[in-house]
């Protein structure tokens, strides 16, 4: 499809055009950047990152958020980064099943992006997809990603606010602090509060922040029973309210994340091209004793 036609389709909010745009972003970053340039700086969509260890109930909460925003008449987009590791591979089907209630709703758009084979490039693709959703007139974009390690969590760097979803029995604080979840959250959710150990989990999260400059709220929630969900929705609405009234710090944070991910993605693309072109020739020179490995590496990536 012609880029200009695709662009006007996306601006009209056409779902097929949006789907094609996101596929372009995933497969052809070069053409996608030409498309994105035409849309200007994103201003419309409030982007909420939802991250946390596998199985803590992120998708269940996202489902609650979709329902709540649809009640307000807002247009909601969801980007779910599919965990493709064997550990969490079963989640995809679960996500699909839970969100089917919304899948027939024309004002909800749910898209999965696979993390396999992307490494740092996935964050760029997610940032680009958000820009497309912004252009397509979504009021809210929910960005769900499994936060196991730093690179998974990087993805939420483009959000205006981030929920970190935890649950009782995660095994003290190690998972939380090691994965880098401590730094990214604006609100910490201890989900599955209907299970035993929720209070202990709240206490251990609070203790992680003791002595630091941050004291984000820690909310006890049960996405299943609904307990605490109203309060969580209220907290999220607080962030959205600030965003809608033009909070500069939020806009800066998200745009900063987009710049960083776009640069990182471009560097990766460039490096992939460079390494394919130059490495064989450099290896010969190193073996002949003309170059050290360090000098050869510096030629590859100056």
Roughly how many angstroms between the first and final C-alpha of the chain, as a whole number? 37
Tell me the closest approach of the beta carbon of residue 90 to ligand GTP, in angstroms.
7
Token pair 């996101």: residue: 22
Please choose which of ligand GTP, Mg ion, none residue 9 contacts, taking the beta carbon within 5 to 8 angstroms, the exact cut-off set by kind: none
Please choose which of Mg ion, ligand GTP, none residue 234 contacts, taking the beta carbon within 5 to 8 angstroms, the exact cut-off set by kind: none
Report d(CA 134, CA 67) in Å as an integer.
Answer: 20
Q: Which stretch binds ligand GTP (CB under 6 A): 2-10, 19-27, 88-96, 212-220?
A: 88-96
Report how many residues bind Mg ion under the rule CB under 5 A: 4
CB 296 within 8 A of CB 282: yes
Tell me the closest approach of the beta carbon of residue 16 to ligand GTP, in angstroms.
27
In the complex, which residue's CB is closest to ligand GTP? Answer: 91
Closest CA to 100 of 66, 123, 124, 68: 66
CB 77 within 8 A of CB 141: yes
Q: Is 67 exposed, middle or buried (0-12, 13-18, 19+ CB in 10 A)?
A: middle
Closest CA to 257 of 4, 59, 49: 49
At 287, list the tokens. 């073996």
Binding flag, residue 114, ligand GTP (CB under 6 A): no
Report d(CA 159, CA 127) in Å as an integer.
Answer: 9
Report d(CA 302, CA 294) in Å as an integer.
Answer: 11
Binding flag, residue 192, ligand GTP (CB under 6 A): yes
Binding flag, residue 59, Mg ion (CB under 5 A): yes
Q: Which of 19, 74, 208, 224 binds ligand GTP (CB under 6 A)?
A: 224
Binding flag, residue 115, ligand GTP (CB under 6 A): no
Question: Which of positions 130-189 make contact with ligand GTP (CB under 6 A)?
Answer: 146
Tell me the closest approach of the beta carbon of residue 223 to Mg ion, in angstroms.
11
Tell me the closest approach of the beta carbon of residue 226 to ligand GTP, in angstroms.
9
Tell me the closest approach of the beta carbon of residue 117 to Mg ion, in angstroms.
20
Count of C-beta atoms within a 10 Å radius of residue 101: 12
Tell me the closest approach of the beta carbon of residue 121 to ligand GTP, in angstroms.
21
Question: Which of positions 239-298 make contact with ligand GTP (CB under 6 A)?
Answer: none
At 85, list the tokens. 């590791």
Please choose which of Mg ion, ligand GTP, none residue 191 contacts, taking the beta carbon within 5 to 8 angstroms, the exact cut-off set by kind: ligand GTP
Q: Which stretch binds ligand GTP (CB under 6 A): 7-15, 55-63, 125-133, 291-299?
A: 55-63
Q: Which stretch binds ligand GTP (CB under 6 A): 26-34, 128-136, 219-227, 235-243?
A: 219-227
Rg (CA), the chain: 21
Report d(CA 203, CA 90) in Å as an integer.
Answer: 31
Tell me the closest approach of the beta carbon of residue 85 to Mg ion, in angstroms.
13
Binding flag, residue 60, Mg ion (CB under 5 A): no
Count of C-beta atoms within a 10 Å radius of residue 87: 12
Provide the 3-class DSSP secondary structure of residue 126: helix
CB 127 within 8 A of CB 114: no
Q: Which stretch binds Mg ion (CB under 5 A): 22-30, 59-67, 154-162, 230-238?
A: 59-67
Q: Which residues of the chain form contacts with Mg ion (CB under 5 A)?
A: 58-59, 91, 95
Residues near ligand GTP (CB under 6 A)? 54-60, 83, 88, 91, 94, 146, 191-192, 194-195, 222-224
């Amino acid at each position: 499809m012609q880029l200009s036609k695709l662009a006007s389709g996306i601006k009209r909010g056409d779902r097929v055009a949006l789907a094609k745009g996101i596929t372009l972003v995933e497969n052809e970053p070069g053409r996608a950047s030409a498309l994105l340039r035409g849309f200007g700086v994103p201003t419309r969509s409030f982007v909420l990152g939802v991250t946390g260890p596998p199985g803590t109930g992120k998708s269940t909460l996202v489902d609650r958020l979709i329902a709540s925003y649809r009640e307000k008449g807002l247009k909601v987009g969801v980007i779910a980064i599919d965990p493709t590791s064997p550990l969490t591979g079963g989640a995809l089907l679960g996500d699909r099943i839970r969100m089917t209630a919304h899948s027939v709703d024309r004002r909800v758009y749910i898209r999965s992006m696979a993390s396999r084979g992307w490494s740092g490039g996935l964050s760029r693709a997610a940032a680009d997809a958000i820009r497309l959703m912004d252009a397509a007139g979504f009021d809210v974009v929910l960005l769900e990603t499994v936060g196991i390690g730093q690179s998974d969590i990087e993805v939420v760097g483009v959000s205006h606010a981030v929920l970190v979803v935890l649950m009782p029995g995660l095994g003290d604080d190690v998972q939380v602090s090691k994965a880098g979840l401590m730094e990214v959250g604006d609100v910490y959710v201890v989900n599955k509060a209907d299970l035993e150990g929720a209070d202990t989990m709240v206490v251990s999260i609070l203790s992680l922040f003791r002595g630091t400059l941050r004291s984000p709220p820690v909310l006890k929630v049960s996405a299943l029973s609904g307990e605490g969900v109203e309060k969580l929705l209220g907290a999220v609405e607080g962030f959205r309210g600030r965003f809608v009234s033009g909070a500069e710090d939020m806009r800066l944070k998200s745009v900063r994340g987009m710049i960083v991910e776009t640069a990182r993605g471009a560097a990766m693309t460039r490096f992939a091209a460079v390494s394919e072109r130059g490495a064989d020739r450099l290896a010969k020179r190193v073996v002949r004793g003309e170059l050290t490995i360090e000098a050869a590496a510096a030629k590859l990536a100056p």
